[in-house]
Structure 1
Amino acid sequence: MADIITVDDPDDPRLSDYTGLTDVELRRRREPAEGLFIAEGEKVIRRAGQAGYAMRSMLLSAKWVEVMGDVIEAATAPVYVVDPALAERVTGYHVHRGALASMARKPLPTAAELLARPGTRRIALLEGIVDHGNLGTIYRSAAALGIEAVLLSADCADPLYRRSVKTSMGAVFTIPYARLTPGRHALEVVREADFKLLALTPDEKATALGELRSEPDDQLALMLGSEGHGLSQDWMCAADEWVRIPMAHGVDSLNIAAAAAISFYSLCDA
Protein backbone atom coordinates (compact mmCIF):
# COMPACT_ATOMS: atom_id res chain seq x y z
CA MET A 1 0.00 0.00 0.00
CA ALA A 2 1.18 3.51 -0.79
CA ASP A 3 2.31 5.85 1.99
CA ILE A 4 -0.24 8.62 2.62
CA ILE A 5 1.55 11.85 3.47
CA THR A 6 -0.09 15.14 4.42
CA VAL A 7 1.77 18.13 2.96
CA ASP A 8 1.18 21.76 3.99
CA ASP A 9 4.08 23.53 2.26
CA PRO A 10 3.56 24.48 -1.41
CA ASP A 11 7.35 24.57 -1.86
CA ASP A 12 7.82 21.00 -0.65
CA PRO A 13 10.16 19.42 -3.27
CA ARG A 14 8.10 16.23 -3.20
CA LEU A 15 5.38 18.13 -5.07
CA SER A 16 7.71 19.23 -7.88
CA ASP A 17 6.00 17.05 -10.51
CA TYR A 18 2.86 19.16 -10.09
CA THR A 19 4.30 22.69 -10.13
CA GLY A 20 3.20 25.15 -12.80
CA LEU A 21 0.76 22.89 -14.65
CA THR A 22 -0.73 25.87 -16.49
CA ASP A 23 2.65 26.89 -17.94
CA VAL A 24 2.32 25.16 -21.31
CA GLU A 25 5.83 25.92 -22.57
CA LEU A 26 7.44 24.79 -19.32
CA ARG A 27 5.46 21.55 -19.16
CA ARG A 28 5.96 20.82 -22.86
CA ARG A 29 9.73 20.94 -22.34
CA ARG A 30 9.86 19.39 -18.92
CA GLU A 31 7.52 16.40 -19.03
CA PRO A 32 9.05 14.45 -21.94
CA ALA A 33 12.57 15.27 -20.72
CA GLU A 34 11.79 13.95 -17.23
CA GLY A 35 9.76 11.00 -18.51
CA LEU A 36 6.49 11.92 -16.82
CA PHE A 37 2.97 13.09 -17.57
CA ILE A 38 0.04 14.20 -15.43
CA ALA A 39 -3.27 12.31 -15.26
CA GLU A 40 -6.19 14.34 -13.92
CA GLY A 41 -9.38 12.95 -12.43
CA GLU A 42 -10.39 9.57 -11.07
CA LYS A 43 -11.32 7.94 -14.39
CA VAL A 44 -8.22 9.09 -16.23
CA ILE A 45 -5.90 7.98 -13.40
CA ARG A 46 -7.54 4.55 -13.37
CA ARG A 47 -7.28 4.23 -17.16
CA ALA A 48 -3.61 5.18 -17.10
CA GLY A 49 -2.94 2.46 -14.56
CA GLN A 50 -4.96 -0.09 -16.50
CA ALA A 51 -2.92 0.79 -19.60
CA GLY A 52 0.26 -0.15 -17.76
CA TYR A 53 1.67 3.28 -16.93
CA ALA A 54 3.60 3.26 -13.65
CA MET A 55 2.62 5.81 -11.02
CA ARG A 56 5.26 8.17 -9.60
CA SER A 57 2.95 9.79 -7.04
CA MET A 58 -0.58 11.07 -6.45
CA LEU A 59 -1.76 14.49 -5.27
CA LEU A 60 -5.20 14.36 -3.63
CA SER A 61 -7.48 16.54 -1.61
CA ALA A 62 -8.66 14.79 1.56
CA LYS A 63 -12.13 13.88 0.29
CA TRP A 64 -10.62 11.89 -2.58
CA VAL A 65 -8.57 9.55 -0.39
CA GLU A 66 -11.54 7.26 0.23
CA VAL A 67 -12.70 7.39 -3.40
CA MET A 68 -9.25 6.37 -4.60
CA GLY A 69 -8.82 3.82 -1.82
CA ASP A 70 -8.42 0.79 -4.09
CA VAL A 71 -5.86 2.61 -6.25
CA ILE A 72 -3.93 3.65 -3.13
CA GLU A 73 -4.09 0.08 -1.82
CA ALA A 74 -2.51 -1.25 -5.03
CA ALA A 75 0.05 1.53 -5.41
CA THR A 76 3.62 1.68 -4.15
CA ALA A 77 4.14 5.36 -5.05
CA PRO A 78 3.53 8.02 -2.35
CA VAL A 79 0.19 9.78 -2.03
CA TYR A 80 0.37 13.45 -1.05
CA VAL A 81 -2.77 14.83 0.60
CA VAL A 82 -3.15 18.61 0.43
CA ASP A 83 -5.68 21.32 1.09
CA PRO A 84 -7.45 22.47 -2.13
CA ALA A 85 -6.02 25.98 -1.72
CA LEU A 86 -2.49 24.58 -1.50
CA ALA A 87 -3.10 22.41 -4.57
CA GLU A 88 -4.09 25.56 -6.46
CA ARG A 89 -0.92 27.35 -5.36
CA VAL A 90 1.23 24.44 -6.53
CA THR A 91 -0.47 23.71 -9.85
CA GLY A 92 -1.60 27.21 -10.80
CA TYR A 93 -5.31 26.42 -11.15
CA HIS A 94 -8.28 25.14 -9.16
CA VAL A 95 -8.07 21.35 -9.25
CA HIS A 96 -11.81 20.81 -9.29
CA ARG A 97 -11.50 17.07 -9.97
CA GLY A 98 -9.52 16.78 -6.73
CA ALA A 99 -7.11 14.09 -7.94
CA LEU A 100 -3.87 14.25 -9.89
CA ALA A 101 -1.28 11.59 -10.55
CA SER A 102 2.22 11.83 -11.94
CA MET A 103 2.79 8.85 -14.24
CA ALA A 104 5.93 7.52 -15.90
CA ARG A 105 6.04 7.53 -19.69
CA LYS A 106 6.74 4.39 -21.67
CA PRO A 107 9.35 4.22 -24.45
CA LEU A 108 7.71 4.94 -27.81
CA PRO A 109 7.95 2.39 -30.62
CA THR A 110 9.41 3.50 -33.92
CA ALA A 111 7.00 4.19 -36.75
CA ALA A 112 8.23 1.07 -38.55
CA GLU A 113 7.63 -1.10 -35.48
CA LEU A 114 4.14 0.30 -35.06
CA LEU A 115 3.19 -0.28 -38.70
CA ALA A 116 4.43 -3.86 -38.57
CA ARG A 117 2.02 -4.87 -35.80
CA PRO A 118 -0.40 -7.58 -36.97
CA GLY A 119 -3.88 -6.40 -37.83
CA THR A 120 -2.96 -2.76 -38.35
CA ARG A 121 -5.11 -1.70 -41.32
CA ARG A 122 -6.52 1.74 -40.52
CA ILE A 123 -4.22 4.44 -39.18
CA ALA A 124 -4.21 8.21 -38.76
CA LEU A 125 -1.29 10.45 -39.72
CA LEU A 126 -1.42 13.83 -37.98
CA GLU A 127 0.63 16.78 -39.21
CA GLY A 128 1.19 20.01 -37.32
CA ILE A 129 -1.73 19.67 -34.89
CA VAL A 130 -0.57 21.76 -31.96
CA ASP A 131 -3.83 22.39 -30.10
CA HIS A 132 -3.93 19.92 -27.20
CA GLY A 133 -7.73 19.96 -26.99
CA ASN A 134 -8.11 19.10 -30.67
CA LEU A 135 -5.48 16.39 -30.38
CA GLY A 136 -7.21 14.77 -27.40
CA THR A 137 -10.58 14.88 -29.15
CA ILE A 138 -9.09 13.29 -32.27
CA TYR A 139 -7.68 10.46 -30.16
CA ARG A 140 -11.04 9.90 -28.48
CA SER A 141 -12.75 9.61 -31.87
CA ALA A 142 -9.96 7.39 -33.19
CA ALA A 143 -10.35 4.98 -30.28
CA ALA A 144 -14.14 4.91 -30.55
CA LEU A 145 -14.28 4.45 -34.33
CA GLY A 146 -11.65 1.81 -34.98
CA ILE A 147 -8.36 3.55 -35.82
CA GLU A 148 -5.59 1.14 -34.84
CA ALA A 149 -2.54 3.42 -34.66
CA VAL A 150 -1.57 7.08 -34.85
CA LEU A 151 1.59 8.56 -36.34
CA LEU A 152 2.47 12.12 -35.40
CA SER A 153 4.62 14.58 -37.30
CA ALA A 154 7.59 15.90 -35.36
CA ASP A 155 5.80 19.20 -34.67
CA CYS A 156 2.51 17.76 -33.38
CA ALA A 157 1.49 18.41 -29.79
CA ASP A 158 2.17 15.89 -27.03
CA PRO A 159 -0.68 13.36 -26.65
CA LEU A 160 0.28 12.91 -22.97
CA TYR A 161 0.07 16.59 -22.11
CA ARG A 162 -2.54 17.05 -19.36
CA ARG A 163 -5.18 18.75 -21.55
CA SER A 164 -4.83 16.16 -24.32
CA VAL A 165 -5.21 13.33 -21.82
CA LYS A 166 -8.21 14.98 -20.14
CA THR A 167 -9.97 15.83 -23.42
CA SER A 168 -9.47 12.31 -24.72
CA MET A 169 -10.82 10.87 -21.44
CA GLY A 170 -7.80 8.58 -21.41
CA ALA A 171 -8.20 7.37 -25.00
CA VAL A 172 -4.58 8.42 -25.62
CA PHE A 173 -3.62 5.39 -23.52
CA THR A 174 -5.48 2.90 -25.71
CA ILE A 175 -4.11 3.63 -29.20
CA PRO A 176 -0.42 2.99 -29.91
CA TYR A 177 1.40 5.92 -31.44
CA ALA A 178 4.82 6.94 -32.71
CA ARG A 179 6.60 10.03 -33.99
CA LEU A 180 7.61 10.39 -37.62
CA THR A 181 11.08 11.66 -38.41
CA PRO A 182 11.25 15.36 -39.38
CA GLY A 183 11.56 16.43 -42.99
CA ARG A 184 10.04 15.84 -46.39
CA HIS A 185 10.75 12.10 -46.34
CA ALA A 186 8.78 11.48 -43.14
CA LEU A 187 6.08 9.47 -44.95
CA GLU A 188 8.42 7.01 -46.65
CA VAL A 189 8.17 4.59 -43.74
CA VAL A 190 4.38 4.48 -44.23
CA ARG A 191 4.64 3.86 -47.96
CA GLU A 192 7.26 1.16 -47.39
CA ALA A 193 4.75 -0.61 -45.13
CA ASP A 194 2.31 -0.74 -48.09
CA PHE A 195 -0.24 1.74 -46.78
CA LYS A 196 -2.29 3.83 -49.19
CA LEU A 197 -1.90 7.50 -48.26
CA LEU A 198 -5.16 9.47 -48.20
CA ALA A 199 -5.00 13.25 -47.78
CA LEU A 200 -8.10 14.86 -46.26
CA THR A 201 -8.80 18.17 -48.00
CA PRO A 202 -11.82 20.36 -48.83
CA ASP A 203 -10.64 20.55 -52.46
CA GLU A 204 -13.52 19.87 -54.87
CA LYS A 205 -11.25 17.68 -56.99
CA ALA A 206 -10.88 15.20 -54.12
CA THR A 207 -12.85 11.95 -53.94
CA ALA A 208 -15.85 12.08 -51.63
CA LEU A 209 -15.21 9.73 -48.70
CA GLY A 210 -18.38 7.79 -49.43
CA GLU A 211 -17.10 7.07 -52.95
CA LEU A 212 -13.67 5.85 -51.89
CA ARG A 213 -13.09 2.34 -53.14
CA SER A 214 -11.51 0.12 -50.52
CA GLU A 215 -11.73 -3.31 -48.94
CA PRO A 216 -11.62 -4.14 -45.21
CA ASP A 217 -8.14 -5.64 -45.57
CA ASP A 218 -6.71 -2.63 -47.41
CA GLN A 219 -4.08 -0.72 -45.46
CA LEU A 220 -5.24 2.89 -45.37
CA ALA A 221 -3.49 5.87 -43.78
CA LEU A 222 -5.62 9.00 -43.41
CA MET A 223 -3.58 12.22 -43.27
CA LEU A 224 -4.98 15.15 -41.28
CA GLY A 225 -3.41 18.61 -41.13
CA SER A 226 -3.62 21.56 -38.80
CA GLU A 227 -6.87 23.50 -38.64
CA GLY A 228 -5.29 26.72 -39.82
CA HIS A 229 -3.08 25.54 -42.68
CA GLY A 230 -4.19 22.01 -43.50
CA LEU A 231 -1.67 19.53 -44.83
CA SER A 232 1.68 20.78 -46.07
CA GLN A 233 2.52 20.71 -49.76
CA ASP A 234 4.95 17.84 -49.17
CA TRP A 235 2.25 15.70 -47.56
CA MET A 236 -0.35 16.60 -50.18
CA CYS A 237 2.05 15.64 -52.97
CA ALA A 238 2.91 12.38 -51.22
CA ALA A 239 -0.75 11.27 -51.11
CA ASP A 240 -1.99 8.45 -53.31
CA GLU A 241 -5.45 10.00 -53.30
CA TRP A 242 -7.15 13.12 -51.99
CA VAL A 243 -10.43 12.63 -50.10
CA ARG A 244 -13.04 15.08 -48.85
CA ILE A 245 -16.17 15.30 -46.72
CA PRO A 246 -19.14 16.45 -48.88
CA MET A 247 -20.76 19.54 -47.34
CA ALA A 248 -23.92 21.57 -47.80
CA HIS A 249 -25.21 25.11 -47.23
CA GLY A 250 -21.99 26.73 -48.41
CA VAL A 251 -19.89 25.35 -45.54
CA ASP A 252 -16.39 24.71 -46.84
CA SER A 253 -14.64 23.24 -43.80
CA LEU A 254 -15.07 21.77 -40.32
CA ASN A 255 -13.12 21.90 -37.09
CA ILE A 256 -10.31 19.36 -37.47
CA ALA A 257 -11.60 17.24 -34.59
CA ALA A 258 -15.07 17.03 -36.15
CA ALA A 259 -13.61 16.29 -39.59
CA ALA A 260 -11.46 13.55 -38.07
CA ALA A 261 -14.45 11.85 -36.44
CA ILE A 262 -16.48 11.82 -39.66
CA SER A 263 -13.52 10.57 -41.67
CA PHE A 264 -12.65 7.82 -39.18
CA TYR A 265 -16.21 6.56 -39.24
CA SER A 266 -16.27 6.48 -43.03
CA LEU A 267 -12.86 4.86 -43.30
CA CYS A 268 -13.36 2.18 -40.66
CA ASP A 269 -16.86 1.35 -41.84
CA ALA A 270 -15.57 0.68 -45.37
Structure 2
Amino acid sequence: MEAIEVTDPRDPRLGDYVGLRDVTLRKSLEAEHGLFMAEGDKVIRRALRAGFAPRSLLLTERRRDALGDVVDGVDAPVYIVSEEVAQGLVGFHLHRGALGSFHRRPLPAVGDVLRGARSVVVLEDIVDHTNVGAIFRSAAGLGVDAVLLSPRCADPLYRRSVKVSMGSVFTLPYARMDDWRQGLGELRDRGLRVLALTPGEDSAPIDRELAAEPGRPTALLLGTEGDGLSSRWLDQADARVRIPMAGRDVDSFNVTAAAAIACYELVRCSAPTEPSLPSAP
Protein backbone atom coordinates (compact mmCIF):
# COMPACT_ATOMS: atom_id res chain seq x y z
CA MET A 1 0.00 0.00 0.00
CA GLU A 2 1.45 3.37 -1.00
CA ALA A 3 1.91 5.84 1.86
CA ILE A 4 -0.28 8.96 1.72
CA GLU A 5 1.22 12.17 3.08
CA VAL A 6 -1.29 14.46 4.85
CA THR A 7 -0.44 17.99 6.00
CA ASP A 8 -3.69 19.20 7.58
CA PRO A 9 -4.89 17.74 10.92
CA ARG A 10 -8.45 18.68 9.87
CA ASP A 11 -8.30 16.40 6.83
CA PRO A 12 -11.46 14.25 7.05
CA ARG A 13 -9.47 11.17 6.08
CA LEU A 14 -7.86 11.34 9.54
CA GLY A 15 -11.19 11.46 11.38
CA ASP A 16 -10.59 8.19 13.23
CA TYR A 17 -7.67 9.78 15.12
CA VAL A 18 -9.25 12.98 16.43
CA GLY A 19 -8.93 13.88 20.15
CA LEU A 20 -7.65 10.61 21.56
CA ARG A 21 -7.69 11.95 25.12
CA ASP A 22 -11.31 13.11 24.94
CA VAL A 23 -13.00 10.09 26.53
CA THR A 24 -16.55 11.21 25.76
CA LEU A 25 -15.72 11.98 22.13
CA ARG A 26 -13.83 8.72 21.66
CA LYS A 27 -16.58 6.56 23.15
CA SER A 28 -19.11 8.14 20.81
CA LEU A 29 -16.90 8.01 17.72
CA GLU A 30 -15.69 4.46 18.28
CA ALA A 31 -19.17 3.16 19.00
CA GLU A 32 -20.57 4.88 15.91
CA HIS A 33 -17.93 3.48 13.57
CA GLY A 34 -17.19 0.20 15.34
CA LEU A 35 -13.48 0.86 15.68
CA PHE A 36 -10.69 0.82 18.25
CA MET A 37 -7.20 2.31 18.35
CA ALA A 38 -3.84 0.56 18.70
CA GLU A 39 -0.87 2.70 19.71
CA GLY A 40 2.75 1.81 18.97
CA ASP A 41 4.18 -0.53 16.36
CA LYS A 42 4.34 -3.52 18.74
CA VAL A 43 0.67 -3.28 19.64
CA ILE A 44 -0.30 -2.69 16.00
CA ARG A 45 1.59 -5.82 14.99
CA ARG A 46 -0.20 -7.82 17.67
CA ALA A 47 -3.59 -6.57 16.48
CA LEU A 48 -2.72 -7.62 12.93
CA ARG A 49 -1.47 -11.05 14.09
CA ALA A 50 -4.70 -11.53 16.03
CA GLY A 51 -6.62 -11.06 12.79
CA PHE A 52 -8.19 -7.65 13.38
CA ALA A 53 -8.87 -5.82 10.12
CA PRO A 54 -7.30 -2.34 9.90
CA ARG A 55 -9.25 0.72 8.77
CA SER A 56 -6.04 2.75 8.39
CA LEU A 57 -2.60 3.34 9.87
CA LEU A 58 -1.11 6.69 10.91
CA LEU A 59 2.67 7.13 11.13
CA THR A 60 4.78 10.18 11.86
CA GLU A 61 7.57 10.98 9.45
CA ARG A 62 10.26 9.72 11.84
CA ARG A 63 8.41 6.41 12.22
CA ARG A 64 7.32 5.92 8.62
CA ASP A 65 9.51 2.81 8.31
CA ALA A 66 8.57 1.30 11.69
CA LEU A 67 6.00 -0.98 10.05
CA GLY A 68 7.68 -1.27 6.69
CA ASP A 69 7.68 -5.06 6.76
CA VAL A 70 3.89 -5.27 7.23
CA VAL A 71 2.61 -2.22 5.38
CA ASP A 72 2.62 -3.99 2.01
CA GLY A 73 0.21 -6.58 3.37
CA VAL A 74 -2.19 -4.04 4.89
CA ASP A 75 -5.34 -3.52 2.86
CA ALA A 76 -5.98 -0.01 4.23
CA PRO A 77 -4.62 3.51 3.81
CA VAL A 78 -1.30 4.36 5.48
CA TYR A 79 -1.14 8.06 6.35
CA ILE A 80 2.16 9.87 6.98
CA VAL A 81 2.08 13.11 8.99
CA SER A 82 4.54 15.48 10.63
CA GLU A 83 4.98 15.60 14.41
CA GLU A 84 3.06 18.90 14.47
CA VAL A 85 0.13 17.51 12.50
CA ALA A 86 0.00 14.43 14.72
CA GLN A 87 -0.11 16.51 17.90
CA GLY A 88 -2.80 18.81 16.52
CA LEU A 89 -4.82 15.78 15.49
CA VAL A 90 -4.64 13.47 18.52
CA GLY A 91 -4.22 16.15 21.21
CA PHE A 92 -0.84 15.15 22.65
CA HIS A 93 2.74 14.38 21.60
CA LEU A 94 2.62 11.04 19.85
CA HIS A 95 5.99 9.82 21.09
CA ARG A 96 5.48 6.29 19.78
CA GLY A 97 4.77 7.74 16.35
CA ALA A 98 2.38 5.01 15.22
CA LEU A 99 -1.36 4.52 15.48
CA GLY A 100 -3.71 2.03 13.92
CA SER A 101 -7.46 2.22 13.56
CA PHE A 102 -9.03 -1.26 13.52
CA HIS A 103 -12.49 -2.69 13.03
CA ARG A 104 -14.02 -4.22 16.14
CA ARG A 105 -15.41 -7.74 16.07
CA PRO A 106 -18.64 -8.88 17.74
CA LEU A 107 -17.97 -10.13 21.26
CA PRO A 108 -18.62 -13.83 21.88
CA ALA A 109 -21.36 -14.96 24.21
CA VAL A 110 -20.48 -15.65 27.84
CA GLY A 111 -21.14 -19.36 27.34
CA ASP A 112 -18.73 -19.55 24.42
CA VAL A 113 -15.93 -17.95 26.45
CA LEU A 114 -16.55 -20.26 29.41
CA ARG A 115 -16.56 -23.45 27.35
CA GLY A 116 -13.59 -25.49 28.54
CA ALA A 117 -12.21 -22.71 30.75
CA ARG A 118 -10.66 -23.77 34.05
CA SER A 119 -9.52 -20.37 35.32
CA VAL A 120 -11.70 -17.29 34.84
CA VAL A 121 -11.38 -13.73 36.12
CA VAL A 122 -14.62 -11.75 36.51
CA LEU A 123 -14.44 -7.94 36.77
CA GLU A 124 -17.27 -6.07 38.49
CA ASP A 125 -17.53 -2.38 37.55
CA ILE A 126 -13.80 -1.70 37.21
CA VAL A 127 -14.04 1.61 35.40
CA ASP A 128 -10.41 2.71 35.04
CA HIS A 129 -9.08 1.78 31.60
CA THR A 130 -5.51 1.51 32.89
CA ASN A 131 -6.55 -0.99 35.55
CA VAL A 132 -8.50 -3.09 33.05
CA GLY A 133 -5.51 -3.21 30.70
CA ALA A 134 -3.12 -4.15 33.51
CA ILE A 135 -5.41 -6.94 34.73
CA PHE A 136 -5.66 -8.36 31.20
CA ARG A 137 -1.88 -8.32 30.88
CA SER A 138 -1.40 -10.18 34.17
CA ALA A 139 -4.18 -12.65 33.42
CA ALA A 140 -2.84 -13.41 29.95
CA GLY A 141 0.77 -13.67 31.10
CA LEU A 142 -0.09 -16.07 33.92
CA GLY A 143 -2.31 -18.29 31.79
CA VAL A 144 -5.87 -17.41 32.81
CA ASP A 145 -8.31 -18.92 30.31
CA ALA A 146 -10.94 -16.17 30.08
CA VAL A 147 -12.21 -12.86 31.46
CA LEU A 148 -15.82 -11.81 32.03
CA LEU A 149 -16.89 -8.18 32.41
CA SER A 150 -19.90 -6.79 34.24
CA PRO A 151 -22.12 -4.52 32.12
CA ARG A 152 -20.55 -1.32 33.53
CA CYS A 153 -16.92 -2.42 33.37
CA ALA A 154 -14.54 -0.30 31.25
CA ASP A 155 -13.92 -1.22 27.62
CA PRO A 156 -10.82 -3.43 27.14
CA LEU A 157 -10.47 -2.07 23.58
CA TYR A 158 -10.30 1.56 24.63
CA ARG A 159 -6.90 2.94 23.58
CA ARG A 160 -5.48 3.19 27.10
CA SER A 161 -6.55 -0.34 28.00
CA VAL A 162 -5.04 -1.71 24.79
CA LYS A 163 -1.78 0.15 25.39
CA VAL A 164 -1.36 -0.92 29.02
CA SER A 165 -2.25 -4.53 28.20
CA MET A 166 0.40 -4.52 25.43
CA GLY A 167 -2.17 -6.17 23.17
CA SER A 168 -3.20 -8.92 25.60
CA VAL A 169 -6.81 -7.84 25.05
CA PHE A 170 -6.49 -9.16 21.48
CA THR A 171 -5.73 -12.74 22.46
CA LEU A 172 -7.28 -13.41 25.89
CA PRO A 173 -10.92 -14.47 25.36
CA TYR A 174 -13.45 -12.23 27.06
CA ALA A 175 -17.16 -11.49 27.06
CA ARG A 176 -19.47 -8.96 28.65
CA MET A 177 -22.41 -10.01 30.82
CA ASP A 178 -25.85 -8.79 29.84
CA ASP A 179 -27.34 -9.34 33.28
CA TRP A 180 -25.41 -8.16 36.34
CA ARG A 181 -27.93 -9.54 38.83
CA GLN A 182 -28.02 -13.10 37.47
CA GLY A 183 -24.74 -13.19 35.57
CA LEU A 184 -22.84 -15.32 38.08
CA GLY A 185 -25.39 -18.12 37.77
CA GLU A 186 -23.93 -19.30 34.48
CA LEU A 187 -20.54 -19.78 36.11
CA ARG A 188 -22.01 -22.13 38.67
CA ASP A 189 -24.15 -23.88 36.05
CA ARG A 190 -20.94 -24.76 34.22
CA GLY A 191 -19.34 -26.25 37.31
CA LEU A 192 -17.02 -23.41 38.26
CA ARG A 193 -16.37 -22.61 41.90
CA VAL A 194 -16.84 -18.87 42.47
CA LEU A 195 -14.39 -17.09 44.81
CA ALA A 196 -14.68 -13.42 45.80
CA LEU A 197 -11.43 -11.58 46.45
CA THR A 198 -11.92 -9.23 49.42
CA PRO A 199 -9.74 -8.12 52.36
CA GLY A 200 -12.60 -8.68 54.82
CA GLU A 201 -11.91 -10.42 58.11
CA ASP A 202 -14.29 -13.26 57.22
CA SER A 203 -12.23 -14.21 54.15
CA ALA A 204 -9.78 -17.11 53.96
CA PRO A 205 -6.23 -17.03 52.53
CA ILE A 206 -6.61 -17.58 48.78
CA ASP A 207 -3.92 -20.25 48.57
CA ARG A 208 -5.54 -22.29 51.34
CA GLU A 209 -9.03 -22.06 49.81
CA LEU A 210 -7.80 -23.02 46.34
CA ALA A 211 -5.74 -25.90 47.71
CA ALA A 212 -8.85 -27.35 49.35
CA GLU A 213 -10.13 -28.40 45.91
CA PRO A 214 -7.08 -28.59 43.64
CA GLY A 215 -7.82 -28.93 39.97
CA ARG A 216 -11.40 -27.64 40.19
CA PRO A 217 -12.32 -24.99 37.57
CA THR A 218 -12.60 -21.67 39.38
CA ALA A 219 -13.80 -18.13 38.72
CA LEU A 220 -12.26 -15.27 40.70
CA LEU A 221 -14.33 -12.12 41.30
CA LEU A 222 -12.55 -8.75 41.43
CA GLY A 223 -14.38 -5.59 42.49
CA THR A 224 -14.29 -1.92 41.63
CA GLU A 225 -11.32 0.25 42.58
CA GLY A 226 -12.83 2.07 45.55
CA ASP A 227 -15.53 -0.03 47.19
CA GLY A 228 -14.55 -3.51 46.07
CA LEU A 229 -17.16 -6.13 45.27
CA SER A 230 -20.84 -5.40 45.76
CA SER A 231 -22.63 -7.15 48.62
CA ARG A 232 -24.72 -9.03 46.05
CA TRP A 233 -21.70 -10.58 44.36
CA LEU A 234 -20.04 -11.28 47.71
CA ASP A 235 -23.13 -13.13 48.86
CA GLN A 236 -23.32 -15.17 45.64
CA ALA A 237 -19.73 -16.41 45.92
CA ASP A 238 -18.95 -19.92 47.19
CA ALA A 239 -16.23 -18.46 49.41
CA ARG A 240 -14.47 -15.19 50.21
CA VAL A 241 -10.71 -15.12 49.86
CA ARG A 242 -7.91 -12.68 50.58
CA ILE A 243 -4.22 -12.22 49.93
CA PRO A 244 -2.45 -12.60 53.30
CA MET A 245 -0.68 -9.37 54.29
CA ALA A 246 2.44 -8.94 56.42
CA GLY A 247 1.01 -5.97 58.29
CA ARG A 248 2.81 -2.62 58.63
CA ASP A 249 -0.47 -0.73 58.30
CA VAL A 250 -1.17 -2.16 54.82
CA ASP A 251 -4.38 -4.19 54.68
CA SER A 252 -4.73 -4.66 50.92
CA PHE A 253 -3.20 -4.09 47.49
CA ASN A 254 -4.65 -2.03 44.66
CA VAL A 255 -6.75 -4.04 42.26
CA THR A 256 -4.02 -4.53 39.64
CA ALA A 257 -1.44 -5.84 42.11
CA ALA A 258 -4.04 -8.02 43.80
CA ALA A 259 -5.14 -9.39 40.43
CA ALA A 260 -1.59 -10.40 39.50
CA ILE A 261 -1.02 -12.28 42.76
CA ALA A 262 -4.46 -13.88 42.74
CA CYS A 263 -4.18 -14.95 39.09
CA TYR A 264 -0.93 -16.74 39.86
CA GLU A 265 -2.62 -18.74 42.61
CA LEU A 266 -5.75 -19.28 40.51
CA VAL A 267 -3.89 -20.79 37.55
CA ARG A 268 -1.57 -22.83 39.73
CA CYS A 269 -4.39 -24.47 41.66
CA SER A 270 -7.00 -24.85 38.92
CA ALA A 271 -4.78 -26.85 36.58
CA PRO A 272 -5.90 -30.48 36.20
CA THR A 273 -4.32 -32.70 38.82
CA GLU A 274 -2.22 -35.60 37.64
CA PRO A 275 -3.66 -38.98 38.57
CA SER A 276 -1.45 -40.82 41.01
CA LEU A 277 0.44 -43.81 39.64
CA PRO A 278 -0.20 -47.19 41.18
CA SER A 279 2.40 -48.38 43.63
CA ALA A 280 4.89 -50.94 42.38
CA PRO A 281 4.12 -54.44 43.57
In the other structure, the counterpart of 1:29 is 28
Q: Does structure 2 conserve the Cα–Cα contact (< 8 Å) formed by 1:123 and 1:147? A: yes
Instruction: Write the distance in 1 (CA, Å) between the matches of 2:28 and 2:189.
Output: 32
In the other structure, the counterpart of 1:171 is 168
Give the partner amino acid of 2:184: L
Instruction: Write the distance in 2 (CA, Å) between the matches of 1:183 and 1:42.
Output: 37
1:32, CA displacement in angstroms?
Answer: 3.0
Q: Which stretches in structure 1 are left out of the alignment for 5+ residues?
A: none
Instruction: Write the distance in 2 (CA, Å) between the matches of 1:140 and 1:183.
Output: 24
Q: In structure 2, the residue corresponding to 1:157 is in which secondary structure? A: coil
Q: In structure 2, the residue corresponding to 1:46 is in which secondary structure? A: helix
Larger radius of gyration: 2
Q: Does structure 1 conserve the Cα–Cα contact (< 8 Å) formed by 2:125 and 2:150? A: yes
Instruction: Write the distance in 1 (CA, Å) between the matches of 2:223 and 2:51.
Output: 30
Report whether the alignment pairs 1:222 with 2:220.
yes
Report whether the alignment pairs 1:147 with 2:144.
yes
In the other structure, the counterpart of 2:190 is 193
1:185, CA displacement in angstroms?
Answer: 1.1
Instruction: Write the distance in 2 (CA, Å) between the matches of 1:261 and 1:83.
Output: 39
Q: Structure 2 length as normaliser, TM-score?
A: 0.92
Instruction: Write the distance in 2 (CA, Å) between the matches of 1:262 and 1:84.
Output: 40
Q: In structure 2, the residue corresponding to 1:53 is in which secondary structure? A: coil
Q: Which stretches in structure 2 are left out of the alignment for 5+ residues?
A: 270-281
1:182, CA displacement in angstroms?
Answer: 3.2
In the other structure, the counterpart of 1:161 is 158
Alignment of 1:1-270 (within 5 A): 2-116=1-115, 118=116, 120-212=117-209, 213-216=212-215, 218-248=216-246, 249-270=248-269
Instruction: Write the distance in 1 (CA, Å) between the matches of 2:129 and 2:240.
Output: 26
Q: Does structure 2 conserve the Cα–Cα contact (< 8 Å) formed by 1:227 and 1:255? A: yes
Task: Give CA deviations for 1:48-86 in whole Å, capped at 9, x if unaligned.
Answer: 111111111001012222221111111110000001110
Instruction: Write the distance in 1 (CA, Å) between the matches of 2:140 and 2:47.
Output: 15
Instruction: Write the distance in 1 (CA, Å) between the matches of 2:119 and 2:196.
Output: 14
Runs of 4+ in 1 over 4 A off after TM superposition: none
Q: How many residues align?
A: 266
Q: In structure 1, the residue corresponding to 2:259 is in which secondary structure? A: helix
1:24, CA displacement in angstroms?
Answer: 0.8
Cα RMSD, aligned residues only: 1.0
Q: Does structure 1 conserve the Cα–Cα contact (< 8 Å) formed by 2:21 and 2:90? A: yes
Instruction: Write the distance in 2 (CA, Å) between the matches of 1:211 and 1:39.
Output: 40
1:193, CA displacement in angstroms?
Answer: 1.5
Instruction: Write the distance in 1 (CA, Å) between the matches of 2:74 and 2:16.
Output: 17
